[in-house]
Structure 1
Amino acid sequence: MKRFFAPEQTKVIFFDMNHTLIDPHQSFYDSFLDVLNEYTGRWSGDGEYTQQSIVERYWDEWRKKLTQKRMNAVNRDKIRLACLKIALDPLPFTLNEAFLRTFLSRIKDKQTRTPTLVPGARDTLEKLAETYKLAIISNGNKEKVESQLRILDLSEVIPGDRVFATLKGGARKPNPALFRQALQSVGVAPSQAVMVGNSWKNDVLGAVGAGIDAVWLHPGHSKKSSQRKLRNRKVIIVRKIDMLLSIF
């Protein structure tokens, strides 16, 4: 695979967090199973339903409802509760709103405390950190991102002063202002940085708008890697995060 970036020019690699380094779906799945196990104990199902099938039932309902409704914060909460009610229906619980909200809250709390890295992320980050400065640009909460990095034992690779997140009322990706703030804080020019993320709109277009080259993580891409030009900036497309080791 062709090497597109080199340390002689590139000094900092910015990463998105969710779906780039963190796998929130896997973390939610594992947290759901843990909470379900707390409620059901040694229940092994009645043949038709198991703990795993309950979680899969939730995801099936979630995917169906995503295609039916516009998503916003209010709808997302209502959809989650509706999916949870359907998924837990085979169990001997009183599925009122208070119970469902408590159950969902425990999943979210456990998910926050047990983030899951995407496959290959740890080795890739540790190897890249030998040559480049690594940083985060996220639309998430800064304290939450820093906490996740500590839990994952990645704070030495990406320290807190290199975590750039949206402040209340402040710029959010894809607004180039957030990228420019990060560039200024780490003390590099746009041409000396690369942004890695899974969102074409937030990560790629946002970075290019600030004059930064980008790497788009796109699992469905037909080739192992390819290159595009966008407003005179390089955009490299790869399928998996461990492919970064071949292009840097």
Structure 2
Amino acid sequence: MGEKRTNAKGIFFDVDDTLYDHLQPLREALRHVLGTGEDFPYEAVYHRFRYYSDKLSASHGAVNAAGAERDLQEMRIQRAKLALAEFGIAVTDGEAARIQEQYLERQFRISPFPGATELIGDLQAAGHVVGLITNGPAEHQMAKIKALALDAAIPSGHIFVSGAVGYDKPDPRLFARVNEQTGTDPSRCFYIGDSWRNDVIGALDAGWTAIWFNHRQVEPETEHQPQYTAGSYRELADLLLA
């Protein structure tokens, strides 16, 4: 049973590379396993890493669901191999698995982007329904949310992890579940995220307003048109608190 529907705006954030720097743990993992140096194109590799993560997850359909751990691990190995291959680096399955292991280990040494926690508090104080929608296994994503101290800032009923819900972004059913559970209306909901496939297309297909958090200044992948684009939390605050 969801909350009583209100006229408040629903403002929901992605987690990975939207609320914190998701590149940092990958950079450290590549340095540890492959010995990459300062001049390595980490940001470009990260962008392709995320691209293949989203693409392979979408082709599976429910890679983050309970019981799909083997498929999830295979996806993680393949995304590293495919992304690095674009930069002329061939890695074995074993090396890709070690990159993933180091990447996971470092994902909990994180802190929010400057201004993120403050914006969430300001939006809540303004009376909006504020929450999180993130893809990933439930336990893993909740551990990151706790590492960011966002479990204390956002009610548990406003936190949606795809592995627990049963649908992965960009599936519109995930966004519909959020509306149902929080009593919000799609026409008054905003979604902020960095992933073109999962966040922009997902929000648009669900009838939400999409705010593309393009802080890495990458190019769109399709002809979809997010209603807004922001590159910093200052810009997000100007949009959402206006």
Please report the TM-score for the alignment, with normalisation by the length of structure 2.
0.64
**SS of the counterpart of 1:167?**
helix
Residues of 2 paired with 1:14 and 1:243: CA distance?
Answer: 16
Where does residue 63 of structure 2 map in the other structure?
A: none
Q: Which amino acid aligns with 2:145?
A: L
Q: CA deviation at 1:130?
A: 2.1
> Is structure 2 residue 118 aligned with structure 1 residue 123?
yes
* 1:15 Cα deviation after fit: 0.9
Match for 1:246 among 225, 238, 241? 238
CA distance in 2, matches of 1:207, 1:19: 17
Q: Distance in 2 between matches of 1:209 and 1:114?
A: 34
Q: Which amino acid aligns with 2:110?
A: P
CA contact (8 A) 1:149 1:158 kept: no
Distance in structure 2 (CA, Å) of the matches to 1:124 and 1:13: 11
Larger radius of gyration: 1
5+ residue gaps, structure 2: 1-5, 57-74, 219-223
RMSD of Structure 2 on Structure 1 (CA)? 4.1
Match of 2:157, SS state, is: helix
8 Å contact 1:195–1:212 — kept in the other structure? yes
Matched, 1:25 2:26: no
Distance 1:204 1:97 in 2: 31
* Counterparts of 1:104 and 1:200, CA distance in 2: 24
> How far off is 1:177 after superposition?
0.8
1:103 is displaced (CA, Å) by: 5.2
Instruction: Tell me whether 1:15 sits opposite 2:13 in the alignment.
Output: yes
Between the two proteins, what is the percent identity of the paired residues?
25
Q: How does 1:1-248 map to 2 (within 5 A)?
A: 9-30=7-28, 54=37, 56-57=39-40, 59=42, 62=45, 72=56, 73=75, 74-78=77-81, 100=95, 104=99, 106-131=101-126, 132-167=128-163, 170-219=166-215, 220=217, 235-247=227-239, 248=241
SS at match of 1:153: coil
**Aligned mates of 1:126, 1:169 — CA distance in 2:** 25
Q: CA deviation at 1:209?
A: 2.2
Structure 1 residues 186, 75: CA separation in 2 closer, same or farther (over 3 Å shift)? same
Question: Normalising by the residue count of structure 1, what TM-score does the alignment of the two structures yield?
Answer: 0.63
Give the whole-Å Cα distance in 1 for the aligned partners of 2:37 and 2:116. Answer: 29
TM-aligned CA deviation for residue 175 of structure 1: 1.7
Shift of 1:77: 4.0
CA displacement at 1:184 relative to structure 2: 0.5
The aligned amino acid for 1:196 is I
Distance change in 2, residues 1:10/1:197 (3 Å):
farther
Matched to 1:139, the amino acid is: N
Q: Secondary structure at the match of 2:142?
A: helix
1:60 to 1:108, Cα distance in 2 relative to 1, 3 A: closer
Letter in 2 for 1:236: Y
Counterparts of 1:215 and 1:81 in 2: how far apart (Å)? 29
For the 8 Å contact 2:111–2:147, the answer to whether it is kept is no
User: How many pairs align?
Assistant: 203
